[in-house]
Structure 1
């Protein structure tokens, strides 16, 4: 963590020399999702991960970084798979998605068609391990008893609920995620202005808690599944002041600038929003030129970054009009070089 703090401090130094708040991960059992290859030999099936040289696989005997709900089930699952030829036949991968509520969703990946015999054995398997199971093969998806887990995060004195769907994006470390949301809420309370706009909103991870600090919120996301989950999550939390729009950040930029009309916005009065605060949590590529130009229009920018290198690139442009007021390091991936960062920028006085 100290090495990461030093590295991020050096990267942000041209733009910010204040304190960077560190948010460390637990030492173990912190990863809420995991994906494994399945390696078969004469002794049976094994969890495996690709070696750093990309040429070999390493068979796993333990995996202490996965969250407790996964750890309690993954080894029992493999024992049962190895005792059942129907479940083990041509199984090549297993994916786990968990929640702090102890719910777990297991996706089993196969190189064969799944039949009624597989479904019967899989139903018995999910009863024995206490998890929902989905089977996937080429052009086939078999959902037995649901395709999401319900997460519950304690943030700012309230319990927030989220449906996390299979193979949709979720924050990998729920403990650091709760700290990220709390940090964003603190910064929004301190520096937020007007209505909130969020780009790359996903299933509402930040949007829903932050909505409690604003009168109106508009949020965009390109994934149809994520938009569906976001609306369901609003209902779970009794939130009614968010409008979710299925658009890319580039499309939303064109809409706000009046360059293009979109049918998806026919029931949305963009002119009724007095957007003063924008939150962005972009992919590793960071912000495109048009989106940088768009967010620079607003008084306050909350920037959550999974790639500090593209964050630094974007700050070179954004600090022409804004100044960095605070920064944080989120250690979602302990024991790796990867780090995530947050900065809040406020428009400079002319």
Structure 2
């Protein structure tokens, strides 16, 4: 099948149309002439697996990463950044049925503060696009920056010198499984977390990473393909720090933090700009990214988060910043009255708000909601259930994830006057 790529799908794949049939072609751009020889079906969609670009689009630019087109990490490096922003703005605007501008990332390479590299019999790197078993061996990740090259080089030397086995996911064999590299982009602090199966880690491990502020060994005792585990031991500092404006956050191997520090500054500023009143409820509060930042600006903040470890980290972040914010363990569906708060902030997982929480919002009618979302589809669905009581006051996109199809949104919802 041969034809012209019409547009990008929401997932960032080129759309090739043949009558009523659509085939999604990875790593293509609108205007590319492609020839597709094979495809597979995935969740009612047809994804090309054997194809070539016969005539490249004038839109294309040269990707910075030599692994682009094989690695599953970035899908859009071949698309000019201005077009990436236009694509994301169009997607958000379509879902929210209004014009939504997307704020560009201040940095589009070297912006990621975390990468999870697979250690396997196929190499050290990232999953090959479309597979769960294959790995693209990499030397450095341009979206993370030069520290990735330094850490991966040190890891390979450690593996070779100590004769360590790497993981075969199909056989569940081998010792080393993942290396997670994290960096405070505004502090320069580096964390390296080696994730293994059960076994013995050579005592020489820390000698290979003298540049790391914090070095961890974690054990994944399950067959699950995850890049975290039970902390076995650490060297150096127990945390690294990141700074967003005047707020310092502690980062642990098992805690979540926004992966683009440069844009995270704009994200917390935007939420602070929209917050109103005195009392703030921060739902899905995580490590207190929004809550601690807002408390630093004089708001009285309560945070609710289902993960006990994240709550512990959030309260530590409140203490080290000397702010009035308290965080507790709780589920979104178990929150009591929302009417005591002037502003409620929600930053749910991709699945969106729990239906019980939506019902409580409609019942208690807090004056202002700030909805932070990385999933335009569930964001739009949730807002549609609130439309009888709330209107969209403002909406903006933030490009937290350059060279991927993902986009963050911040929507301000205000209760209709009664």
TM interval, shorter chain, is: 0.7 to 0.9
- Post-superposition shift, 1:91? 1.9
Q: 1:223 to 1:67 in 2, by over 3 A?
A: farther
Equivalence for 2:218: 136
Deviations 1:31-68 (A, max 9, x none): 11111111347xxxx42221112153211133101145
Contact 2:164 2:175 in 1 (8 A): no
Moved over 4 A (4+): 86-89
- Aligned counterparts, 1:201-216, within 5 A: 201-216=285-300
Secondary structure in structure 2 of the residue aligned to 1:206: helix
TM-score by length of 1: 0.83
Structure 1 segments unaligned to the other structure (5+ residues): 258-272
Equivalence for 2:274: 187
Secondary structure in structure 2 of the residue aligned to 1:256: coil
- Match 1:256 to one of 320, 333, 337: 337
Is 1:53 aligned to residue 130 of structure 2? yes
Distance across 1 between alignment mates of 2:198 and 2:316: 34
Contact 2:301 2:326 in 1 (8 A): yes
**RCO comparison, higher one (Cα < 8 Å, 6+):** 1
The number of equivalent residue pairs is 314
Equivalence for 2:360: 294
Contact 1:152 1:161 in 2 (8 A): yes
Equivalence for 1:262: none
Distance across 2 between alignment mates of 1:138 and 1:305: 30
Equivalence for 1:148: 239
Secondary structure in structure 2 of the residue aligned to 1:83: helix
Q: 1:318 to 1:289 in 2, by over 3 A?
A: same
Is 1:102 aligned to residue 188 of structure 2? yes
Contact 1:199 1:281 in 2 (8 A): yes
Q: 1:70 to 1:236 in 2, by over 3 A?
A: farther
Contact 2:213 2:236 in 1 (8 A): no
Equivalence for 1:238: 322
Distance across 2 between alignment mates of 1:86 and 1:306: 38
Q: 1:217 to 1:130 in 2, by over 3 A?
A: closer
Secondary structure in structure 1 of the residue aligned to 2:383: helix
Equivalence for 1:278: 344
Contact 2:398 2:407 in 1 (8 A): yes
RMSD: 2.3
Contact 1:114 1:137 in 2 (8 A): no
Question: Would you tell me which structure has more helix in proportion to its own residues?
Answer: 1
Structure 2 segments unaligned to the other structure (5+ residues): 1-84, 167-173, 222-229
Equivalence for 2:79: none
- Post-superposition shift, 1:214? 4.9
